[in-house]
Structure 1
Amino acid sequence: MTDIYTKLDPDAAIDIAYDIFLEMAGENLDPADILLFNLQFEERGAVEFVETADDWEQEIGVLIDPDEYAEVWIGLVNEQDEMDDIFAKFLISHREEDREYHIVWKK
């Protein structure tokens, strides 16, 4: 039996990821990265909904179905509008009643 659920709207996924990022960044990023993010976010910051990668198993050690998750990146973009400094990658479940998420933080 397949569960029927509504996929997260990209804006909702971005909001969830950004809220979690703000709450957890202090514990998971270097102080220098936090300072860089805070100083540069207004000009170069980006929170982007991207196509869900199929290599999350390598990152989190669990095989996931890319169709059941949204992926959001938070970082800074360069002059070509490409995100070249990624502070966190989020994998967020589409299931509202059982919202699961995984984060890969910048090392």
Structure 2
Amino acid sequence: MPHQLDPDNAIDIAYDIFLEMAEENLDPADILLFNLQFEERGAVEMVETAENWDEEIGVLIDPQAYAEVWVGLVNAQDQMDDIFAKVLISHDQENPEYHIVWKK
């Protein structure tokens, strides 16, 4: 079993990937919204790895082998209600793998 990424590392890696790829994968309006709102309402959170990634990416994964991080904006109740990206990162950093589901 590969060494588990700690949440801070997973969040840093996911956010870096997000920033690198957002321009090619998000609507310009969403990028503007994100940039304007992130300081006030932005959140990057590690969540429990979902079981249904195969529906999103067409590949079965072992949820134990990946960290899942969401990048988005939170509402007044501190709930992330606008998710720009869900990033799946492998715990195996020798052979890092990641998948992203972007906001449609």
CA offset at residue 98 of structure 1?
Answer: 0.4
CA offset at residue 85 of structure 1?
Answer: 0.2
Larger Rg: 1
- Which TM-score applies when normalising by structure 1? 0.96
TM-align CA RMSD: 0.5
1:103 aligns to what?
A: 100
- Give % identity: 80
- Runs of 4+ residues deviating >4 angstroms: none
From 60, 65, 70, the counterpart of 2:67: 70
C-alpha distance in 2, partners of 1:17/1:5?
18
| One-letter amino acid of the structure 1 residue matched with residue 10 of structure 2 | A
C-alpha distance in 2, partners of 1:61/1:47?
25
Provide the secondary structure at the position in 1 that maps to 2:54.
helix
Structure 2 spans left out of the alignment, 5+ residues: none
**What per-residue deviation string (whole Å, max 9, x for no partner) do you get for residues 18-55 of structure 1?**
00111100000000000000000000000000000000
From 19, 41, 53, the counterpart of 2:16: 19
